[in-house]
A and B are shown apart, each in its own frame.
Chain A
């Protein structure tokens, strides 16, 4: 079974802090994704990556950056956290550059910015 592990289930940080969210997958997947999920807005794609050191902006990249130094690890960085970044953050992975592959999700990090 594919396992996607997010480093923290719950995290509380203060405005202005630099925040790192880590995600690791164990199935050698090429593709990795970061979403945020908010009530009434669904899942929105922040950034994704097709390969090591590659990154592509999703629909809401502002205020975020990512890092993919190793294939199995994809990090989301909040450069200077703000209260409107309080949300559930979900990481996912999928195999190959081809279509029709399901995405495998971690259980999320609920981040609160005070």
Chain B
């Protein structure tokens, strides 16, 4: 069956360290993979998009990798800050489905000062 899995347990790290979140998928052939941030009581906010033929994408302190052989994306936040505490969602976009996204369950990140 088709599945998207993110770290089910919350991730707790110290301020200044690098946070690494994982998104694994099975039985999909995604064209694109997107990462979103969601704060409590708010809707998700788009962060980054990576295409299947891109290995890595960066935006300020954020880095995303995409390995279609391993069927995995890693999301890194370097020099993490308490303000980075949130739930992070990965989402797959499949070819020829016109922008429809399939979301993972999300990983809750907590950055302690």
Check A103/B46 contact, CB under 8 A, given A31-B98, A98-B99. Answer: yes
B50 → chain A closest CB, angstroms:
10
Indicate whether B113 reaches chain A with its CB closer than 8 angstroms: no
How large, as a class, is the contact surface on chain A?
A: 20 to 34
**Pairwise interchain contact A99-B93, C-beta atoms closer than 8 A:** yes
Count of A-B residue pairs with CB < 8 Å: 61
Interface set, chain B 34-52, CB cutoff 8 A to A: 34, 41-46, 49, 51
The distance in angstroms between the C-alpha atoms of A19 and B91, with both chains bound, is 29
Chain A CB within 8 A of B13 CB: no
**4 tightest A-B CB contacts, nearest first:** A105-B43, A102-B46, A42-B105, A43-B103
Residues of A within 8 A of B (CB): 4, 31, 33, 35, 40-45, 48, 50, 58, 90, 92, 94, 96-108
A106 and B31 within 8 A (CB): no
Alpha-carbon distance between A105 and B89 when the two chains are bound, in angstroms: 13
Bound-state CA distance A98–B97 (Å) is 9
Chain B residue at minimum C-beta to C-beta distance from A35? B103
A99 and B99: CB pair below 8 A? Answer: yes
A42 to B43, CA, bound (A): 12
Assess A42 versus B99: contact at CB under 8 Å? Given A4-B43, A104-B46, A108-B43.
no
With A107-B42, A108-B43 in contact, is A42–B98 under 8 Å at CB? no
State whether A103 touches B101 (Cβ < 8 A). Answer: yes
- Contact residues, B15-48 vs A (CB, 8 A): 31-32, 34, 41-46
Contact with A along B91-113 (1 / 0, CB 8 A): 00101001111111110000000
CB distance from A96 to the nearest CB of B (A): 8
Given contacts A40-B105, A43-B103, contact A97 B98 (CB under 8 A): yes
Contact indicator B106/A42 (Cβ below 8 Å): yes
How many angstroms from the CA of A22 to the CA of B35 in the assembled complex?
Answer: 26
What are 17 A-B contacts with C-beta separation under 8 Å? A33-B100, A43-B103, A44-B103, A45-B100, A45-B102, A50-B98, A94-B99, A97-B99, A99-B98, A99-B99, A100-B93, A101-B99, A103-B99, A105-B44, A105-B45, A107-B41, A107-B43
